[in-house]
Each structure stands twice: as structure tokens, then as C-alpha cells.
Amino acid sequence: MADKQQKKITDYSEYLSTAKPKQAAAIRAVLAHGTQAAAAKALGINLRTLERHLKAAKGASNDTITMPEFAPNTSRAHVKGVMQKTVFLDIETSVIEVYTFRLGMQNLNIGSLKEGSKTKLLTAAWGSWWDLYNGGADKVKSIGNHHNKKSFKADPTDDTGVLRALWHVLDGADIIVAHNASFDRGWIEGRFMDLGWKKPSKYYVYCTYRTLHGLNGVSKKLDYLSQKLIGTEKVKHEGFQLWIDCQNGSREAFEKMEAYNIGDIYETLYKVFMRTALYVDRNKCIDLAGEGKFCNVTGDALTKQDGSYRNRRTGLRYHTYINKKYNLEYRDRYNINSKKADTGYITPLISNGLK
């Protein structure tokens, strides 16, 4: 019994550094008197009140290490503008047909390709950051080859309508968010090249797969990240047969494919982005800072800190700032002796912790 009581005392002592005054007093009383009953009597409070203080101290400690939910500062016009021009995008592509002598792992080359067979788009889904943040899954837009009845009847893999819609989406966006984005961008712009279309206006690509480089985990597949980090998952389907049915012109299959595609936007891609955005390299994040002393990750105003950051190589010192809610630190671009110091030119403070 004594060992069990000592374990409880040791556990609560770990929370002293983050406890409020009444909570700290309760912990110290338990440590001094050995039991909660004796501590409550010494403090002149009942046992239930003491237990409540101890429980609150434990909860406060947990709060200090739990990352707050990512919430961009939408009250700023700059942040709203960036979110409106940021598009979450996903596509589904067709299969190709090849000739082979047998099953199993084969080294297929271009000579094995059936004449006329090529990878095309089947469906596409997208939504702006602003719309998804405020309206959820209802704001996801989509299109598929089956939307144009005439062309679909003639050729179910005719993706001209899908590509035309995507061209305007990309042309109007400043930032595209996708998982393994090189796949989506590569096939979309590759098809633009096939058709002889001009490229849309320049846009920045944020890849929710590549930006997690350096953060180890069992898998960085979108479905796995969704399940483990959020509790959502991709829309279930019958597997490869769905792609074959689409290739053969099944409207029902295309409707299933479109639903699967739509499910990749809000419940998986968007939520994985929102869950991981605070952990990526801040030099690669979607910049919400704008002009002035604002956090580039969330767009929140920064607080100037006491002291300064010292560059160990040059010896120069710089003012430092912090986003207190998320504990994200920044430093001035100009040293404290410069006339431009503390005028809003800042950069993320990313170091080994030595200042």
C-alpha cells in the first residue's frame, strides 16, 4: 500500500512546474505529509477538493505538451486571400492495355503497349482551402468523363472536359495542395502537352507527402495517415476492377470513381494537411505572414521576446519573436545594430536549440 501511495506522490510531483498556485500547494502538501488525507487536513480543505486540485494539475501538464489544433488567422485579409487561392486537388487516371506472354512480374516495354492505349484522366476533385475550412465536404467540386453524355458514349476515356475544367482551376490558383503531388501535376500537365494546350499561369505546389520528409513513421500513404492521425479513411471500393469497368464505359463505375475521388479531398487530403501543417519545415509551408511581424504558418501576430539570438559564426545578435500559441520562434533578418532591425523583416528561427 505504501509503495502504491509513493507512486502516486511521485507522479504528481512531475506536474509541479506547470501547476497553478493552489494545485502546487496541494502537490507539496501530499509530498510533505505522505497521504492525500493528511495533506487535505493540513491545508484545511476536504479530500474531494484536494483531489480536484491534483487532477487539474495533471491536466494542465498534459495541455502544455499537446499541440493546439491548427487554426489560421482568418480575421486577416491577407490570410483569407491566400486560402481562397489555395486549392486541394486529386485526380484518378485510367489503366493502359499491354500484351504479355505470361503473368507475374514482367519487364514490359513500349513495344508491349496496345496501339492507341494511353493513360488519361477519369475524374478530378478539388476545393479551395477557404471553402473547405468554412464549409467542409459540401464544398468539394468534381468532374468526370461521364458528365458529357455525348463524348462519353463515343469514348468513355475522353478526358477533354475534365482537363478543360482543371486548366481553369490551375490557372486561377496560386497554390495547389496534393499528396504525392508530382503524380497529379505530372499527368495533368502531360495531358495538356498531348493536346497542345498552353500551360496555366504559374502556381506553387505543396505536397503533403514530400513536406513530411524527415518525420519518420510506418507509412506516409494518404490512407494510412488519415486513419492514424485523424481517424478518417478513403472511400472503400471493389479494387482494380473499378478501373477496368471505367475503361469499359460503365457509368455506374464512373459514379463510384467520382465518389472515391471526392472522398480524397476533405476527409483525407485536407484533414491530413491541417493535422501536419504545424510540423513541416517552416521554409516550405504555405506562407500566411504577408508584410509585418506575423507567423508564416498561421498568420498570427508575433510577440517580441526578451534577449536576442546570437549567430555563433559571426557573433551578431538579432531580435527574436514568438507565436506563443504554437511555440514557433522567429528572428529578425537584420542584426540589432541595423536601421532595418525590428521593422518587420523576419525569418523562422530554426536551429539546434543553442542561442
For the whole model, what pTM was predicted? 0.79
Residue 3: its pLDDT value, please? 44
Residue numbers of the domain that contains 42: 2-65
- Any domain includes 155: yes
Per DSSP, what are the bridge partners of residue 126? 89, 141
Q: Give the residue among 66, 64, 58, 59 at the shortest CA–CA distance from 14.
A: 58
Helical residues (DSSP H) of the chain, grouped into ranges: 2-13, 21-33, 36-43, 47-65, 77-84, 129-135, 149-154, 160-172, 181-195, 222-225, 240-247, 251-263, 271-276
Which residue ranges of the chain lie beneath pLDDT 50?
1-10, 352-355
Residue 305: its pLDDT value, please? 93
Task: Give the residue from 276, 300, 329 where a domain finishes.
Answer: 276
Residue 6: its pLDDT value, please? 44
In the chain, how many domains are there?
3
What cell numbers appear for 25 in the block?
Answer: 500547494
Please tell me whether residues 8 and 149 are part of one structural domain.
Answer: no
Output the CA torsion sign for 75, 78, 82, 84: positive
Please tell me whether residues 34 and 109 are part of one structural domain.
Answer: no
Residue 61: its pLDDT value, please? 55
- Any domain includes 71: no
Please tell me whether residues 258 and 291 are part of one structural domain.
Answer: no
Q: What is the CATH number of the domain that holds 145?
A: 3.30.420.10
Please tell me whether residues 189 and 158 are part of one structural domain.
Answer: yes
Task: Give the residue from 16, 43, 65 where a domain finishes.
Answer: 65
Half-sphere exposure of 320 (CA within 13 A, CB side): 18
Please tell me whether residues 209 and 89 are part of one structural domain.
Answer: yes
pLDDT tens-digit profile of 108-130?
888 888 888 888 999 999 999 99
